[in-house]
Structure 1
Amino acid sequence: MMMRRRTTLLSGCTALVLALGATACGGGEPVAAGGGDQALSGQTVSVAGVWSGSEQKNFQKVLDAFTEKTGAETRFVPTGDNVSTVVGSKIEGGDAPDVVMVPQVGVLQQFAKKGWLRPLSKTTEKSVDSGFASVWKKYGSVDGTFYGLYFKAAHKSTVWYSPEALDQAGVEAPETYDDMLKAGRVVSDSGLAAFAVAGQDGWTLTDWFENVYLSQAGPDKYDALAAHDIAWTDASVVKALTTLGKLFKDEQLLAGGQKGALNTDFPGSVEKVFGPQAEAAMVYEGDFVAGVAKDQFGRAIGEDADFFPFPAVGGGEAPVVSGGDAAVVLKDGKHPEAAMKLLEYLATPEAAAVWAKAGGFLSPNKDLDPASYGDDVTRATAESLVAAGDSVRFDMSDQAPAAFGGTKGVGEWKILQDFLRDPSDPEATAARLEAAAAKAYED
């Protein structure tokens, strides 16, 4: 694994950068977050986002650290999953939040094109230029203007497994997709299903497809398909569906078979591997699997729950698919100055370290000291994400219009569920995907 530059969070230049009103190293404009001089006392920054439970609790720790430094109070506004509708309603009602944590590239682009967003400050932009791979700025920009700071990232190219189950079957972590299926058949011969697939949640199936497609077709094709510059009937899509179908049609590999997979949601898929009554050895999904395995089922991460990178497909490179939440500043918010200062703070490794210590978090900021993470597995996942640099590709379905890539029961989610149910005709599935995509991109 390629190691990245390590920094000490509060020493030297970084300490100066984090001090409120201090001049950034090498000159330039003042840095606005930090120092504790309470310069923003009397202002309250409202921050809207989808987070709930432990995620909201841990993000509040970051907001509290910002309050301690600047004096600005914060108020978190839960949006539920439909961020676009909730934020639009609040803007129309004259109660726009100051900051929104946007979970989808497509929604960020929608907000920008509606004229809802303020460009981020030069201070934030400088922090991102120096501390983040350029791909993160690309995904946060619309028509060349930088609107979205990716504060929290997800690594969606991780396959989680029970070390005990793989040890008992005598198999090791595979390096290719075909080897992963072979290992799965050996596991199933030992009496335990290979994979728990969360087919009830269509978004997990889009993630399966995206990893296969990125590795097999390559990043250029991935970018073209994400932008709908090539059709979903392209031969590369049919090939990826055929490859994915090798797993979906193999009853020996799926816990409960296709019917069982279609009746399993994401938490249920993790339970089937790490719960008290194990039914499978492996579950594919992002780094957030670890949080469920630890918090709900008491698994020790790195001991009785571990991961291997999603393996390379068809001679391609191993994929690194990511997701994330971008902080944006709304034009109609009541405290734009304090909102901008919050984003300047979120762009620092200091802010990322607060949540990294609490757990359930990855930062794309390469200046965050890996020691900030609380366990070796999370640290390795974060380093893998950062080491991928500009080869990271954002979740394709999150880049698409929500009607195609992000709505339950329709579009890509529904079509891939149907493909899981019957993977016998990849070409017909590709045609259905193209029809749904063409309609969504036109609307």
Structure 2
Amino acid sequence: MFVQRGSSRSRVAIAGALSMGLVFGLSACGDSKDEEPGTGATSLAAIDCTPYKAFGDLTGKEVSIYTGIVTPEDTPHKESYKPFEQCTGVTVKYEGDKAFETQILVRAEANNAPDVAFVPQPGLLQRLVQTGKVKEAPAEVAANVDKFWGADWKEYGSVGGKFYAAPLGASVKSLVWFSPKEFKDSGYAEPKTLADLKALTDKMVADGKKPWCAGINSGEATGWPLTDWMEDFMLRLSGPETYDKWLKHEIPFNGPEATKALDAVGEYLKNDKYVNGGYGDVKSIASTTFQDGGLPILEGQCSLHRQASFYAANFPKTAKVGPDGDVFAFYLPGETADSAPVLGGGEFVAAFADRPEVKAFQTYLSSDTWANVKAKVSAGWVTANKGLDPANLQNPVDKLSAEILLNPKATFRFDASDLMPAAVGQNTFWKQTTAWLTGQDTKTTLDKIEASWPK
């Protein structure tokens, strides 16, 4: 379930989810030695070794990895490297560190960088490239990315027009959690457009329900779920090009596009008829933790909760998560049924060495081969690699996320607040939208965030 990203908001979110216990766990790979051929660890050696012969005899060589992905989420990662090690004779040395995001910069600048680092967001990749220590991706990796990923993903791994880092894992934020049983019993249908979503919400109100539940309290990171709401609506109502300009401050934070997006969020979260099912009024959203936000779905106290794929970990282990279970999710639709904007996050593979064994390992990680191996040994993991066979994924949320990410119409955009300057993305954006939720008007909110943008 773990996809680390580049802000304290994301770390708090993931840590909170994990502290509740992984809904699916890693049991899918725990007993893999007893599984049938074609599943689990017994099939990991059955890969084509041909692509790695071009790098010469690598027997006895080592490649070091440094990442923020730590125990127990590191176990399936290590398992997924075994076929490469068996093919090449290379030993992969894995180092996970919760302080990765600060220490990787320190290590790079001190000439103590690892061979490979899993970078949790494009902004950090840009800073690492500025140290002059990151190597451009080899031709084999570029070819894999051109084949298996969309141009938007390759752009996130590029800096200054040069391609450095292939995508790795991904997460989907554009989800709405719901009760499949309630939908079936009440005759509700999953919405295909934003207008459908509004109509569904109004129908639930007419049926005597408080449709939406939400929680944005996250300690020092309180407010981050609101930024996700706004980013989703910014992407849907103004399109990806405007979204890109907004996060780069090429258009003002308080412009008409942002105003429209935040007001659209307000139609849901500042509407007493719509929220906060199971907890109270609009203001109760600010005091409800993000971990608890969607739990009233299980009690029938609310019907809808917008939150990312990793939120599945917050439901009790006794709750069945799936299309015929106690709770599941649907894609937060676009303005039209033909549009497919996706807000999310992911990691990128940056290399600080260009030895043959490092290039070979980068090639493996950027391949469809690794994507399918990783899927077989992981629960709570997905990738936007087009070579992924969704049948190899371990749980329904992963499969739903893959369906969204691999939709040919999908337009993926990284979480904007993770790409903005920290003074905005991890400070005023959180704080001012929280103030907005508890009574501050839209104009004042956006003006204050705009004024905080570094000159």
Q: TM-score, normalised by structure 2?
A: 0.79
Deviation at 1:266, TM superposition (A): 3.4
Deviation at 1:390, TM superposition (A): 6.6
| Aligned-residue RMSD, C-alpha | 3.0
Equivalent position SS for 2:283:
helix
| Alignment-derived partner of residue 417 in structure 2 | 397
Whether the 8 Å CA contact 2:109–2:131 is kept in 1: the answer is no
1:346 aligns with 2:365: yes
1:324 aligns with 2:346: yes
| Alignment-derived partner of residue 370 in structure 1 | 390
Show the 5 A alignment for 1:378-393: 378-388=398-408, 391-393=411-413
Deviation at 1:366, TM superposition (A): 0.8
| Alignment-derived partner of residue 93 in structure 2 | 75
1:262 aligns with 2:273: no
Post-superposition Cα deviations, 1:238-269, rounded to whole Å, max 9, x if no partner, equal: 11111111112113322323333223333322
Give % identity: 27
d(CA) in 2 for partners of 1:18 and 1:270?
Answer: 45
Whether the 8 Å CA contact 2:340–2:411 is kept in 1: the answer is no
Deviation at 1:171, TM superposition (A): 2.3
2:154 equivalent among 116, 119, 137:
137
1:19 aligns with 2:84: no
Show the 5 A alignment for 1:65-214: 65-80=83-98, 83-92=100-109, 95-187=112-204, 193-201=210-218, 202-214=223-235
Deviation at 1:77, TM superposition (A): 2.6
d(CA) in 1 for partners of 2:212 and 2:422?
Answer: 28
Deviation at 1:376, TM superposition (A): 5.2
| Alignment-derived partner of residue 309 in structure 1 | 331
Whether the 8 Å CA contact 1:159–1:307 is kept in 2: the answer is yes
Unaligned runs of 5+ in 1: 1-7, 10-14, 23-29
Counterparts in 2 of 1:371 and 1:289: CA distance versus 1, 3 Å? same
Equivalent position SS for 1:250:
coil
Deviation at 1:337, TM superposition (A): 4.0
1:251 aligns with 2:275: no
Equivalent position SS for 1:220:
helix
d(CA) in 2 for partners of 1:237 and 1:166?
Answer: 32
d(CA) in 2 for partners of 1:379 and 1:61?
Answer: 21
Counterparts in 2 of 1:355 and 1:95: CA distance versus 1, 3 Å? same
Equivalent position SS for 1:207:
helix
Counterparts in 2 of 1:99 and 1:180: CA distance versus 1, 3 Å? same
d(CA) in 2 for partners of 1:314 and 1:344?
Answer: 38
Whether the 8 Å CA contact 1:134–1:390 is kept in 2: the answer is no
More displaced stretch, 319-328 vs 307-316: 307-316
**Aligned amino acid, residue 161 of structure 1:** F
1:359 equivalent among 379, 391, 397:
379
d(CA) in 2 for partners of 1:279 and 1:115?
Answer: 54
Deviation at 1:16, TM superposition (A): 9.0
Post-superposition Cα deviations, 1:177-227, rounded to whole Å, max 9, x if no partner, equal: 344244335445656642232312433222211111111111221121122
Deviation at 1:107, TM superposition (A): 1.0
Deviation at 1:232, TM superposition (A): 0.8
Deviation at 1:17, TM superposition (A): 6.5
**Aligned amino acid, residue 366 of structure 1:** K
Post-superposition Cα deviations, 1:351-403, rounded to whole Å, max 9, x if no partner, equal: 11122222212211112222222345533431321224572222222222233
d(CA) in 1 for partners of 2:159 and 2:329?
Answer: 35
Counterparts in 2 of 1:245 and 1:313: CA distance versus 1, 3 Å? farther
Deviation at 1:61, TM superposition (A): 2.0
More displaced stretch, 318-327 vs 306-315: 306-315
**Aligned amino acid, residue 210 of structure 1:** E
Whether the 8 Å CA contact 1:133–1:390 is kept in 2: the answer is no
**Aligned amino acid, residue 447 of structure 2:** A
Counterparts in 2 of 1:328 and 1:278: CA distance versus 1, 3 Å? farther
Counterparts in 2 of 1:217 and 1:326: CA distance versus 1, 3 Å? same
Counterparts in 2 of 1:83 and 1:377: CA distance versus 1, 3 Å? closer
More displaced stretch, 154-163 vs 83-92: 83-92
2:263 equivalent among 228, 235, 242:
242
**Aligned amino acid, residue 73 of structure 2:** E
Deviation at 1:141, TM superposition (A): 0.2
Whether the 8 Å CA contact 1:166–1:187 is kept in 2: the answer is no
**Aligned amino acid, residue 81 of structure 2:** L
Counterparts in 2 of 1:167 and 1:69: CA distance versus 1, 3 Å? same
Whether the 8 Å CA contact 1:210–1:396 is kept in 2: the answer is yes
Equivalent position SS for 1:391:
strand
d(CA) in 2 for partners of 1:297 and 1:193?
Answer: 25
Post-superposition Cα deviations, 1:117-138, rounded to whole Å, max 9, x if no partner, equal: 1111111011111111111111
Counterparts in 2 of 1:342 and 1:164: CA distance versus 1, 3 Å? same
Counterparts in 2 of 1:181 and 1:298: CA distance versus 1, 3 Å? same
1:418 equivalent among 424, 435, 443:
435
Equivalent position SS for 1:281:
coil
**Aligned amino acid, residue 232 of structure 1:** F
Equivalent position SS for 1:418:
helix
1:47 aligns with 2:65: yes
Whether the 8 Å CA contact 1:121–1:340 is kept in 2: the answer is yes
Whether the 8 Å CA contact 2:168–2:347 is kept in 1: the answer is yes
| Alignment-derived partner of residue 310 in structure 2 | 288
Equivalent position SS for 1:327:
strand
Unaligned runs of 5+ in 2: 1-37, 40-45
d(CA) in 2 for partners of 1:315 and 1:69?
Answer: 45
Deviation at 1:144, TM superposition (A): 1.3
Q: TM-score, normalised by structure 1?
A: 0.81
Counterparts in 2 of 1:369 and 1:260: CA distance versus 1, 3 Å? same
